Amino acid sequence: MSVKNLIVGQSGGPTAVINSSLYGVVSEGFNHPEEIGHVYGMINGIEGFLNGTVLDFQEALPGEKLSYLKHTPGAYLGSCRYKLPESLEDPVYPELFKKFEEMNIGWFFYIGGNDSMDTVSKLSRYAEKIGSDIRVIGEPKTIDNDLVHTDHTPGFGSAAKYVASTVREITLDANVYEKKSVTIVEIMGRHAGWLTAAAALARKYTGDNPLLIYLPETAFDQEAFLAKVEAAFEKNCNVIVCVSEGIHDADGTFICEYDNSVGTDSFGHKMLAGCGKYLENLVRNRLGVKARSVELNVSQRCSASMLSATDRDEAVAAGVFGVKAALSGVTGKMVSFIRTEDENGSYKMECGLEDVNLICNEEKTVPLEWISEDGSDVTDEFISYARPLIQGIADVPMGADGLPAFVYRK
Amino acid sequence: MSVKNLIVGQSGGPTAVINSSLYGVVSEGFNHPEEIGHVYGMINGIEGFLNGTVLDFQEALPGEKLSYLKHTPGAYLGSCRYKLPESLEDPVYPELFKKFEEMNIGWFFYIGGNDSMDTVSKLSRYAEKIGSDIRVIGEPKTIDNDLVHTDHTPGFGSAAKYVASTVREITLDANVYEKKSVTIVEIMGRHAGWLTAAAALARKYTGDNPLLIYLPETAFDQEAFLAKVEAAFEKNCNVIVCVSEGIHDADGTFICEYDNSVGTDSFGHKMLAGCGKYLENLVRNRLGVKARSVELNVSQRCSASMLSATDRDEAVAAGVFGVKAALSGVTGKMVSFIRTEDENGSYKMECGLEDVNLICNEEKTVPLEWISEDGSDVTDEFISYARPLIQGIADVPMGADGLPAFVYRK
């Protein structure tokens, strides 16, 4: 068997462990010198590759530096949001495969979400069409946890741990005053509420905050919400409400759209306030209580401060598994996670392989049976599902500057 | 000498280490059974004390639990924003001192910022007036670092570490795409820019993001700002700008007020968007580039994820020092921090005592000579000042639930 080179790229939004998957692919690539020559990284995904921006990992991250990927958030290689043309007759395909041939690429890895799996699908189908023996493998990645045919996705566990610990801290912060207050926490998730549901993990005891949790899987009724807040004051004078950015009413109107009709900036453009800001104003005006809102924002996907050791280790394992699968001849598959149990009945995860064509452009939402009937909370089934994924904390080395030591391209 | 009881309270906004100071006071209180009997905590500050809500630390946090205060953010005892009357003739003073007498209080500790030092000032002056031998000591606390007559304040170091590490992560997040973008990070600080200045610590190398930093100490000019952003694109296509919430123009108008004239919610109330949101819109509309804003919000003061070990240890030391000072007869003072050097020329901090009357209601801002001439950055002098304060990371134990294990009152 002749030695071929491996290339790996990252695509879509970053996560805390997208570089852990990268570490898995690259380090396992180095383990097979009889089959794999250079391990290349495409800078800014397939779009950057088309523009010829590639690095060689032996030069870019020599020695121990490579292991820093395991705690560095954000996409080390940079990312893109580039969709390959639907038609495999498009000239971009022969252009790409010519480049692969010039670089002697035999193994292609793409780390991303459902849009990125679309790229894996198209490249593997084109390879089959022209009879290329290049192996094309997808590595899952998304804080949204919305990929089908996998128990969960790398990136979700750390984002969930970040959300839960931050909501726990916001609860401590809110509890310092003994005066009625409502804090709205707006969490990422346009269509799938997995990450918002993770706020339930923050509870220290039954009946603790967050007292209300709203996901985009169900319709949001503003009047019912206000009644729920009023009722929640009987449990705690400081009420924490967690909402997905994508909550909408029964007509499908996003809650964040309600204020746009009247709010415009100095240029006459609509001001896009989030649903958290809108609900903060709603609560203050209708209930006459102190209200504030907190948008967790990009830290949900780029903070290494609550890196789940479980998530990190699984992300590395997915990378390693994908390389081994490619070496055994697999192509057109995404590495998936299968939940099993160890001999003690504890959580255990195994990697599997799923047809990437069944995964791309699909979205998995939170099952309705894991959401309480009135849509204001999640059930214990969700807690049991999510709790193992946030276990363990990854040690992030601190540099002499007193801050986390990351690796980066300048 | 007869045994008297000690009482301690917390006041104002919480910080990551306000409970570390509490730990210092309480643990040192336990060390002197020949002089100090019970160690009480007032729940919700002096206001709660007036309402009779008090706990006994031997019962509330027995054994090892007490040490959990050292990594628990938020005010364990709860807080208040209650200002004692200016006139010492007010009947609240005899009422308070009657309660002190009933509880056999000999030592009174109050942990807070400049408003809280006002309470310490009034109580110590009233004690002197009536010839009470109660010892009244202030323990400094504020993320704002705006207390006079102290090198810095407990709480600032951890907040600064949180800001710097979060801005570093936001930079990694922004760098994944190779398309012009501006990220505005809004940081706490209405009048003093210490915490925003700490964003400069995030830079990994000279010329790294954040490329622009604006404090409330200087006037903010919107046109000059836009020109600076344009120029910054020559260094990095992803520009991170850090601004204090309190930035204002030369006329004293807060930048966040600019949009309020047009933005109203469904109830006709002005929508209070922060200056970050306003500048995001300004950049998008005037420069035509991708823009987003991130408000770091309450996590700056309540996150334990970037607890500076230096800050925590100093907060504990301040608590211990205050108790020792009170036992030696000191009253009407606030514990201060004095920066010295060890034999190697490295940073060293010693505790001192300052007249609380000179501290209360005063505010220390960032010296103008530590701000660049055009007001868009801080100097190396600031970096040298702040860097030692963020050194070391405190280990926060994780519970079986996979999240930081805190102590709390239900």
- How far away is chain B from the Cα of A35, in angstroms, using its nearest Cα? 31
H or E element in which residue B211 lies: none
The arithmetic mean of pLDDT across residues A228-255, rounded, is 96
Q: Which residues of B are catalytic?
A: 144
What pLDDT is stored for residue A269 in this prediction?
54
Please report residues of A whose CB lies closer than 8 A to that of B172. 14, 72-74, 302, 406, 408
The pLDDT value given to residue A262: 40
**Structure confidence by residue, pLDDT tens digits, A14-63:** 999 999 999 999 999 999 999 999 999 999 999 999 999 999 999 999 99
**Residues 6 or more apart in contact with residue A299 via CB below 8 angstroms:** A162, A166, B166, B169, B170, B294, B299
pLDDT value at position A235? 93
User: What's the pLDDT at B36?
Assistant: 98
Q: Which residues is A291 bridged to in the sheet?
A: A182
With beta carbons under 8 A apart, name residues in chain B contacting A285.
265, 267, 269
- Give ipTM to 2 decimals: 0.96
Q: Which of B163, B253, B298 to mutate to test the interface with A (most CBs of A within 10 A)?
A: B298
Q: Where are the alpha helices (DSSP H) in B137-208?
A: 156-174, 194-197
pLDDT > 70 fraction of chain A, expressed in percent and rounded: 96
Pairwise CB contact (< 8 Å): B259 & A277? no
CB contact under 8 A, A265 and B271: no
Q: Which of chain A's residues have a Cβ under 8 Å away from the Cβ of B41?
A: none
DSSP collapsed to 3 states, B304-338: CCCCEHHHHHHHHHHHHHHHHHHHCCCCCEEEEEE
Chain A closest-CA separation from residue B74 CA (Å): 5
Smallest CA–CA distance from B403 into chain A, residue: A165
- Check if the beta carbon of residue B354 is closer than 8 Å to that of residue B150: yes
Q: What is the structure's pLDDT at B262?
A: 40
Distance from the Cα of B162 to chain A's closest Cα (Å) equals: 9
Q: What is the mean pLDDT of chain A?
A: 95
For residue B270, the chain A residues in CB contact (below 8 A) are none
B290: Cβ contacts below 8 Å, ≥ 6 apart: B179, B180, B181, B182, B284
First-to-last C-alpha distance (Å) of chain B:
37
Is the pLDDT reported for residue A264 higher than 80?
Answer: no
Put simply, the answer to whether B403 touches A263 (Cβ < 8 Å) is no
Q: Quickly state the pLDDT bin for A142 (edges 50, 70, 90).
A: very high
Q: B202 vs A403: CB contact, 8 Å cut-off?
A: yes
| Closest residue in chain B to residue A294, using alpha carbons only | B297
Catalytic entry in A118, A144, A311, A377: A144
Residue by residue, DSSP assigns A171-235 as HHHHTTS-S-EEEEEEES-SS--HHHHGGGGG-SSTTPSP-EEE-TTS---HHHHHHHHHHHTTT
Chain-chain contact of B262 with A264 (C-beta, under 8 angstroms): yes
Cβ proximity of B330 and B34 under 8 Å: no
Across the interface, which of B44, B204, B403 has its CB nearest the CB of A165? Answer: B403
| Whole-prediction pTM | 0.96
Among all residues of chain B, which has the CA nearest to that of A209? B410
Tell me which of B72, B176, B256, B303 to substitute to probe the interface with A (most A C-beta atoms closer than 10 Å).
B176
Cβ of B306 and A305 within 8 Å?
yes
pLDDT tens digits for range A153-201: 999 999 999 999 999 999 999 999 989 999 999 999 999 999 999 999 9
- pLDDT > 90: what percent of chain A? 93
The whole-angstrom distance between A67's CA and the closest CA on chain B is: 17
Question: According to the model, what pLDDT value does residue A2 have?
Answer: 85
Closest chain B residue to A297, measured at CA: B294
Question: Within 13 Å and on the Cβ side, how many CA atoms surround A304?
Answer: 32
| Cβ within 8 Å, pair A387-B402 | yes
Task: Select from A74, A273, A292 the Cβ nearest to the Cβ of B271.
Answer: A273
With beta carbons under 8 A apart, name residues in chain A contacting B202.
Answer: 403
Give B130→chain A minimum CA distance, Å.
Answer: 32
Q: Count of A–B CB contacts within 8 Å?
A: 207
Predicted pLDDT at A271: 54
Average the pLDDT over A356-380 and give the result.
96
Of residues A73, A173, A403, nearest to B302 (C-beta):
A173
Query: Do B172 and A79 count as a contact with CB atoms less than 8 A apart?
Result: no
CB A202 within 8 A of CB A210: yes
Which runs of consecutive H residues, i.e. helices, occur in A258-355? 275-287, 299-302, 309-327
Residue of B96, B72, B288, B240 lying closest to A302 (CA atoms): B240
Contact between A200 and A372 (Cβ < 8 Å): no
Q: Which of A72, A176, A178 sits opposite B74 (nearest CB)?
A: A176
CA of B367, closest CA in chain A: separation in Å? 23
Q: Indicate yes or no: CB of B201 within 8 angstroms of CB of A14.
A: no
Q: What is the pLDDT along chain B (410 residues), one digit of tens a residue?
A: 589 999 999 999 999 999 999 999 999 999 999 999 999 999 999 999 999 999 999 999 999 999 999 999 999 999 998 999 999 999 999 999 999 999 999 999 999 998 899 999 999 999 999 999 999 999 999 999 999 999 999 999 999 999 999 999 999 999 999 899 999 999 999 999 999 999 999 999 999 999 999 999 999 999 999 999 999 999 999 999 999 999 999 999 999 888 754 445 555 555 557 899 999 999 999 999 999 999 999 999 999 999 999 999 999 999 999 999 999 999 999 999 999 999 999 999 999 999 999 998 899 999 999 999 999 999 999 999 999 999 999 999 999 999 999 999 98
Residue-level pLDDT at A228: 98
- Please state, in angstroms and as integers, the Cα–Cα distance from residue A245 to each residue in A1, A88, A343, B90, following that order: 51, 36, 40, 50
Q: In this complex, do B73 and A302 lie within 8 Å of one another by their Cβ atoms?
A: no
Is residue A268 scored above 80 in pLDDT?
Answer: no
CB distance A169–B302 less than 8 Å?
yes
Residues of A in contact with B292 (CB under 8 A): 298
